[in-house]
Structure 1
Amino acid sequence: MPAIVIAEVPTVKLPNGAEMPVIGLGTYKSAPGEVTQAVKDAIDIGYRHIDGAHFYGNEKEVGEAIRAKIAEGVIKREDIFYTGKLWNTFHRPGAVEPALRTTLADLGLDYVDLYLMHWPVAYEEGGDLTPKDANGKIVFADHDYVDTWKALEEVCEKGLAKNIGVSNFNKEQLERLLKTARIQPVTNQVECQPLLAQVELSEFCKSRGIVITAYRPIGGLGKPGEPKLREDPKLASIAKKYNKTISQILLRYQVDRGHVAIPKSVNKSRIKENFEIFDFELSKEDVKLITSMDRHLRLCQIPDWIDSPYYPFEK
């Protein structure tokens, strides 16, 4: 039997009137053997937004879980908001639609609700998703993300993607894209957590009607030397005040800023915990206090890309 849905998931309205649930299940680095059950658990708990990508290598298993829950009658297709992403090796405009059709075939779905350009950086096209030369350096392609975006607009107009957006774009890249875009990106998915609060980017996106989707909202992936937000005394004090966990405070922090959060987990109790954030709100003072932790500390860094003209981070 499906679990009882804990709460109706709030949504943010996108420019075309579509609604995007403010919390989703991230699937990055979720192993194929685990992700199917994780997505099933999330849907039973009440999640209606699943965030995936071709690069993650697990869209077949994610699609299997979604289709299983549709077959069980737990959800209808229109109840689920699925986000997919165009990988760097498919930036040539003619490669965009075939790449999306591969994603749809893997998922077993007729459309995605949102399709993002995963990065502004283009790789050489070919079989390897991370093409490297003889010296082990990434092989870039000179495709301009503005041209890639035009192809994304075409798949959106064909109905293969209901909405389109970007991921990991900086303010200048967004401004350049918006100058020629016929369909504006509905979201910019970026790393956003207290140590990288993205205040300026968030304000810019809000001024243009673009929603920030926060990945790694609870912090890093447990790499040695990474700050552990779930052990921070300041956050622990706020969590105690609201009788919530630090993870729940960090997710509510994103929602109260008008962002969408996509925490990743394959653990059922953690997936459930991450969903239980709709029975409280943070005070403005506490939102400000958490933002004051900002150190512009980016946990997701890709120094190998620094030579690309489309490198999105500060050099």
Structure 2
Amino acid sequence: MMITEKNKGDVFMIEKLSDTVTLNSGSKIPGLGLGVFQIPEAETAEVVKQAIINGYRLIDTAAIYGNETGTGEGIKQGLQETGLAREELFVTSKLWNDHLTYDETIHAFNESLARLNLEYLDLYLIHWPGNQAFQESWRALEDLYAAGKIKAIGVSNFQIHHLEQLLAAAKVVPVVNQIELHPKLTQQDLRDFCAEKGIAIQAWSPLMQGKLLKEETVLAIADAQQKSAAQVLLRWAIQQGILVNVKSTHPERMRANAAIFDFHLSEDEMARLNALNEDLRVGPDPDTFDFH
């Protein structure tokens, strides 16, 4: 069963770091994962290895991050250290979709797979919609999915109108829409649309790149809960059935970020956090961001 807004309240489908959610493809995705955005290539292998040792089972990278090789090496080392099988990890990468043709998309995927040194990806996303630039790329992803090279396919930073255009021609419904999401940017209309279509929401920048860690409301709730501001923000997302990727380079921070399953934000606390919404982004606006 996929998490939707209907599950929020006292029923938590993700109750520990190893818990998964079933996507519309049947794939099971961990609810909380490690993102490696802005981690230098030379440091990525150790970070990913430590994440796996500390219980993370979802690793999220992208071609544009420039650290897929390090991510792959970290996965290899992490599996060796823990004795886990590859199938026990969920690995995501993303296509930097700068108006790619069908063949260019296939080539880009194969390059990512080679850098990661993996035989398949669990999830592959179109990173940005661009200016109506995703149709050929999505057709290529559908074929890679049909061939078994990818276990699930999805999108990132797609607004409602992008999704409507994609769904009008798609043979496969995206499993995930990975978007910037935090209390200053709740994106409720987009979340409702995705829930109706069976598309899971996954949050990037759940801490607003650290800008929310000193927000007065967040700190007050953190004090009342005897938790950190980061833990409150991550709990806010998880408690609503939102999948989350969070970046950390230090094992102690990784462990702290995962220590969010032993407390519950009240309805009042959730409402106070939701009231912070200003539709404020720290990343680009998907409606204007293009790179061609």
Query: Quick check: 1:44–1:74 contact (8 Å CA) kept in 2?
Result: no
Aligned to 2:45: 36
Cα distance in 2 between the residues matched to 1:307 and 1:54: 18
- Of the three residues 256, 269, 272, the one matched with 1:286 is 269
Q: Specify the alignment match of 2:68 in structure 1.
A: 59
Q: Is the CA contact (8 Å cut-off) linking 2:177 and 2:201 kept in structure 1?
A: yes
Assess, with a 3 A threshold, how the Cα gap between structure 1 residues 307 and 250 changes in structure 2: closer, same or farther.
Answer: closer
Mark the CA change 1:276 to 1:35 in structure 2 (over 3 Å): closer, same or farther.
same
Partner of 1:218: 207
C-alpha displacement of 1:255 = 0.8
Q: Does 1:234 align with 2:234?
A: no
Amino acid at match of 1:187: V
Check 1:269–1:149 CA distance in 2 against 1; reply closer, same or farther (3 A cut): same
Work out whether residues 213 and 259 of structure 1, in 8 Å CA contact, stay in contact via their aligned partners in 2: yes
Are the equivalent residues in 2 in contact too, given 1:63–1:107 (CA < 8 A)?
yes
Shift, 1:306, TM fit: 3.5
3-state DSSP of counterpart to 1:182? coil
Distance 1:216 1:301, change over 3 A: same
Per-residue deviation at 1:203? 1.1
Residues 244-255 of structure 1: matches in 2 within 5 Å?
A: 244-255=227-238
TM-score by length of 2: 0.89
Give the AA of the match of 1:117: I
- Give the root-mean-square deviation of aligned CA atoms: 2.1
Deviation at 1:101, TM superposition (A): 1.0
C-alpha deviation, 1:8, in angstroms:
4.5
Identify which of 100, 109, 128 aligns with 2:109: 100
Equivalent pair of 1:7/1:46 in contact (CA under 8 Å): no
Is it true that 1:83 corresponds to 2:92 in the alignment? yes
Tell me what 1:113 maps to.
122
Q: Is the 8 A contact 2:53 2:81 kept in 1?
A: no
Corresponding pairs, count: 278
Amino acid at match of 1:15: N
| Change over 3 Å in CA distance of 1:157–1:90 after alignment to 2 | farther
Paired letter, 1:151? A
Question: Does the 8 A contact of 2:52 with 2:79 survive in 1?
Answer: no
> Is the Cα contact below 8 Å between 2:98 and 2:130 reproduced in 1?
no
TM-score by length of 1: 0.83
Distance, in Å, in 2 between the alignment partners of 1:220 and 1:70 is 29
CA deviation profile, 1:207-230 (whole Å, cap 9, x unmatched): 111111100001126xxxxxx311
Query: Any unmatched runs of 5+ in structure 1?
Result: 1-5, 123-142, 222-227
Greater C-alpha radius of gyration: 1
Flag structure 2 segments of 5+ consecutive residues without an equivalent.
1-14
Aligned-residue offset at 1:257: 1.3
C-alpha distance in structure 2 between counterparts of 1:264 and 1:255, whole Å: 16
1:114-153 equivalence runs, <5 A: 114-121=123-130, 144-153=133-142
Matched residues in 2 for 1:168 and 1:307: separation?
Answer: 10
Find the aligned partners of 1:279 and 1:293 in 2 and give their Cα distance.
Answer: 24
User: Cα distance, 1:181 vs. partner?
Assistant: 1.1
In 2, Cα distance between equivalents of 1:281 and 1:17: 29
**C-alpha displacement at 1:9, in angstroms?**
2.0
1:9 aligns with 2:12: no
Tell me which amino acid in the other structure corresponds to 1:106: R
Q: Could you tell me which amino acid in structure 1 is paired with residue 265 of structure 2?
A: L
Shift of 1:114: 0.2
Distance 2:83 2:220 in 1: 38
